[in-house]
């Protein structure tokens, strides 16, 4: 029963929106607004053929590499910066500066420096998506519980075990919050990076459709992006439930008390 | 009530003596010249440097803890008990003086020492299960897996928690969580066990059980225990010796021998004549300390 209710909650709003769309486009002749039926047809036609391999695949690849690199750099950098007070004092003002620069404006510079290939696109994704993870990791490391740190010291925990069993898990709730923010930033930057000097990719395809007045195709690309965001967030939630199970349990008990 | 205020039939036995220290002639706890004590605290001083000026938390503490003894440190709140414990455990460097373990100066947390903190909820790893919490220090020492499993099972058995190895600590009651922390310390097989007000945050009934648990483990393992508490009854019930601390800046007010029978019982011991005499004495001393009585003044007056 609860299962059915959950499913209903998930699909209720999309169904209503679809219905509104269907009704409002009945007898609609506007070139720019396709009906749901047309869009579904175009969607399957456009994205199940060779476009999936030539555009979606490379995009997804770059997105995944970008996210993985952001997580790796963000966590390793955050652990280092969070662990050493002097390093933090040295880097934090500069980090604020770089963080404030919107990555899209750096695309021309990066294109000059490292060309227009995949490296450029992945760099753009990382340059934007790394910040929430990096800053949250620093904050997570800094907010370590003192008693827990003392406990580890009295048991003579070595560096590697401290990181593995103390620092990393203790910062994990904040790290996951950072990763969640980074996912949407990465998706946006994936699209933007493909709008410059590209020959393939989702962003490239959408812009090309638009310029060639293939309006239903353009819409279908946008829908695909939205679906991609949903899938990403779903995967994230599964991972979070697995990694932070202890944290949610602890919070539930604290709130019940 | 009247019995508590009657004259003691036996005088309480003070083990403290007055000695010349860098901080003047003051009482010091029992020391063991000649023989090697397990743990020795000498002229320990701790001053915190803050923006608002220096705060002298501990002025001068000297006492020895012999092998296998269970001593309680009791003092009024804010008497620098936790500061002292942090210095002894090597978590904090004293401003002056030193702590030695087997004659070696303590500069960081020593291998043969385990600490049980008051805040059990913050001292157990919430992301590890009960058995994993107990196991972690052993894993860190490089003990192999089968040996580890055995030691963990034994330790959990000793504290009566063999039925919940797979639970997370936060799923257990406060008393049970503190048992996990004790099991972790027991599994580590320390020579000295430091306990910082471990039962301050659990209810009275659980506390009685835990007190008996500590006595039991102490006897079984032959470990030296330094038990910090603000609870006077607890200090007399548990200890072979009660070290009474003055108010801050802390020095030793008195070092008392607890000559209660070795077998202690929550009902019988606590209702015995001797228990209330000792309790009475410690209570008076703590009250004195709270009112700002300074042992060094008393020493000076006695000499004048």
Complex prediction ipTM: 0.87
Copy the structure tokens of residue A71.
């997580």
In a domain, A222, yes or no: yes
Which tokens is B241 given?
Answer: 């010796």
Asked whether residue A8 is assigned to any structural domain, the reply reads no
Question: A203 or B304: which carries more pLDDT confidence?
Answer: A203
Q: From residue B249, give the alpha-carbon distance in Å to each of B47, B78, B242.
A: 9, 9, 19
Q: How many domains does chain B have?
A: 1
Two tokens, residue A169: 């898990």
Total count of domains within chain A: 1
- Using an 8 Å CB-CB cutoff, list chain A residues near B122: 145-148
**Residue A75 domain flag:** yes
Residue with tokens 């803050």: B50
Q: Which residue has the tokens 């040295």?
A: A90
B208 vs B179: CA distance, rounded Å: 13
B98 within domain boundaries: yes
Helix (H) or strand (E) holding B99: strand B96-101
Better pLDDT: A196 or B142? B142
Phi/psi-derived region of residue B151, left when phi > 0, alpha when psi is between -120 and 50, beta in every other case: alpha
* CB within 8 Å: A151 and B115: yes
Tell me if A253 and B136 make a contact (CB, 8 A cut-off).
Answer: no
Instruction: Answer whether residue A7 is part of any domain.
Output: no
Task: Enumerate the residues of chain B whose CB falls inside 8 A of the CB of residue A166.
Answer: 125
CATH number at residue B272: 3.40.50
Tell me: cis bond preceding B181? Omega within 30 of 0 counts: no
Rounded Cα–Cα distance for residues A57 and A48 (Å): 12
- Reference A77, options A67, A88, A68, A86; nearest CA is A88
In a domain, A217, yes or no: yes
Contacts of B174 in chain A (CB under 8 A): none
Paired tokens of B178? 């503190």
Looking only at the bridges linking them, the beta strands covering B53-65 and B250-257 are: parallel
pLDDT at A236 over 90: yes
Residue B294 is part of which domain span? 12-112+227-236+245-303
- Other beta carbons within 10 angstroms of residue A236's beta carbon come to 16
Residue A224 placed within a domain? yes
Quick check: is B45 in a domain?
yes
Which H or E run contains B113? Answer: strand B113-116
Please give the pLDDT value at position B16: 80
Nearest-5° angle of CA A207, CA A210, CA A211?
A: 85
Q: Which two tokens stand for residue B80?
A: 């620098």
Structure tokens at A231: 């899938």
Nearest-10 crossing angle of helices A85-100, A57-83: 140
Q: Is A203 exposed, middle or buried (0-12, 13-18, 19+ CB in 10 A)?
A: buried
- Specify if A164 maps to a domain: yes
Residue with the larger pLDDT of the pair A52 and A73: A73
**What's A148's domain CATH number?**
1.10.3720.10
A20-44 per-position pLDDT tens digit: 988 888 877 788 888 888 888 989 8
B125, closest residue in chain A (CA to CA): A148
B28 located within any domain: yes
| Structural domain range at position A87 | 35-256
Judged by CB atoms closer than 8 Å, whether chains meet at B168 and A249 is answered as: yes
* DSSP 8-state symbol, A165: I
**Spatial contact of B101 and B60, defined as CB atoms under 8 Å apart:** no
Give contacts of A153 with chain B, Cβ < 8 Å: 91, 108-109
Q: Return the residue in A149, A155, A164 with the most chain B beta carbons within 10 A, the one to mutate for interface testing.
A: A155
For the stretch A89-98, pLDDT in tens is: 999 889 989 8
A49-68: average pLDDT: 90
**Tokens linked to A251:** 């919070």
Range with lowest mean pLDDT among A51-55, A66-70, B49-53, B106-110: A51-55
Query: In chain B, how long is the greatest CA-to-CA distance?
Result: 66
* Token pair for A241: 């439930």
Q: How far is B140 from chain A (nearest CA, A)?
A: 6
Query: What separation in angstroms does the CA of B235 have from each of A156, A225, B89, B117, B176?
Result: 29, 68, 20, 17, 21
Residue A184 has pLDDT above 80, yes or no: yes
**A1, part of any domain:** no
- Of residues B17 and A151, more confidence is placed in A151
Tell me whether residue B105 is in a domain: yes
The tens place of each residue's pLDDT in chain B, 304 residues long, gives 444 455 556 788 888 888 888 877 788 888 877 677 889 999 999 999 988 889 888 999 999 999 999 999 998 887 788 889 999 999 999 999 999 998 889 999 999 999 999 998 899 999 999 999 999 999 999 999 999 999 999 999 999 999 999 999 999 999 999 999 999 999 999 999 999 999 988 888 889 999 999 999 999 989 999 999 989 999 999 999 999 998 888 889 889 888 888 888 888 899 899 999 999 999 988 888 888 777 777 777 766 5
């Amino acid at each position: 029963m609860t299962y059915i209710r959950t499913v209903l909650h998930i699909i209720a709003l999309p169904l209503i929106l679809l219905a509104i769309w269907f009704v409002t486009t009945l007898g609609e002749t506007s070139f720019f607004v396709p009906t749901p039926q047309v869009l579904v047809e175009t969607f399957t036609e456009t994205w199940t053929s060779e476009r999936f391999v030539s555009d979606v695949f490379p995009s997804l690849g770059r997105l995944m590499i970008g996210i993985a690199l952001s997580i790796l750099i963000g966590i390793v950098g955050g652990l280092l910066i969070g662990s050493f007070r002097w390093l933090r004092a040295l880097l934090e003002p500069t980090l604020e500066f770089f963080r404030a620069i919107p990555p899209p404006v750096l695309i021309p510079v990066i294109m000059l420096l490292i060309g227009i290939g995949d490296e450029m696109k992945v760099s753009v994704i990382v340059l934007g998506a790394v910040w929430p993870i990096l800053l949250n990791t620093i904050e997570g490391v800094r907010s370590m519980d003192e008693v827990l740190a003392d406990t580890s010291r009295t048991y003579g925990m070595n560096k590697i075990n401290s990181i593995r069993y103390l620092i990393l898990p203790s910062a994990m709730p904040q790290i996951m919050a950072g990763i969640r923010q980074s996912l949407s930033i990465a998706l946006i930057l994936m699209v933007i990076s493909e709008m410059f000097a590209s020959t393939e990719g989702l962003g490239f395809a959408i812009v090309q459709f638009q310029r060639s007045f293939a309006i239903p195709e353009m819409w279908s690309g946008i829908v695909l992006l939205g679906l991609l965001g949903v899938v990403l967030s779903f995967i994230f939630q599964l991972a979070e439930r697995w990694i932070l199970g202890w944290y949610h349990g602890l919070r539930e008990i604290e709130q019940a008390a | 009530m009247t019995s508590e205020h009657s004259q003691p039939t036996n005088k309480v036995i003070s083990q403290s003596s007055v000695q010349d220290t860098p901080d003047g002639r003051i009482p010091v706890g029992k020391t063991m010249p000649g023989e090697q004590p397990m743990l020795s605290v000498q002229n320990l001083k701790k001053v915190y440097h803050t923006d608002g000026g220096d705060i002298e938390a501990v002025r001068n503490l000297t006492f020895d803890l012999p092998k296998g003894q269970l001593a309680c440190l009791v003092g009024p709140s804010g008497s620098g008990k936790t500061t002292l414990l942090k210095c002894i455990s090597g978590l904090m460097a004293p401003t002056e003086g030193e702590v030695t373990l087997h004659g070696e100066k303590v500069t960081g947390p020593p291998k043969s020492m385990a600490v049980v903190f008051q805040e059990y909820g913050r001292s157990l790893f919430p992301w590890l299960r009960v058995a994993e919490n107990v196991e972690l220090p052993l894993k860190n020492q490089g003990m192999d897996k089968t040996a580890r499993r055995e030691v963990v099972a034994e330790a959990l058995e000793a504290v009566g928690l063999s039925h919940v190895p797979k639970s997370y600590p936060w799923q257990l009651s406060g008393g049970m969580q503190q048992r996990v922390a004790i099991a972790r310390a027991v599994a580590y097989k320390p020579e000295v066990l430091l306990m910082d007000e471990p039962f301050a945050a659990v209810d009275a009934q659980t506390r009685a059980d835990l007190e008996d648990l500590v006595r039991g483990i102490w006897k079984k393992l032959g470990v030296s225990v330094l038990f910090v508490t603000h609870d006077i009854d607890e200090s007399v019930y548990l200890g072979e010796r009660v070290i009474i601390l003055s108010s801050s800046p802390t020095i030793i007010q008195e070092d008392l021998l607890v000559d209660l029978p070795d077998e202690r019982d929550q009902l019988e011991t606590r209702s015995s004549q001797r228990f209330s005499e000792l309790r009475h004495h410690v209570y008076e001393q703590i009250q004195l300390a709270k009112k700002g009585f300074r042992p060094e003044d008393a020493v000076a007056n006695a000499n004048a």
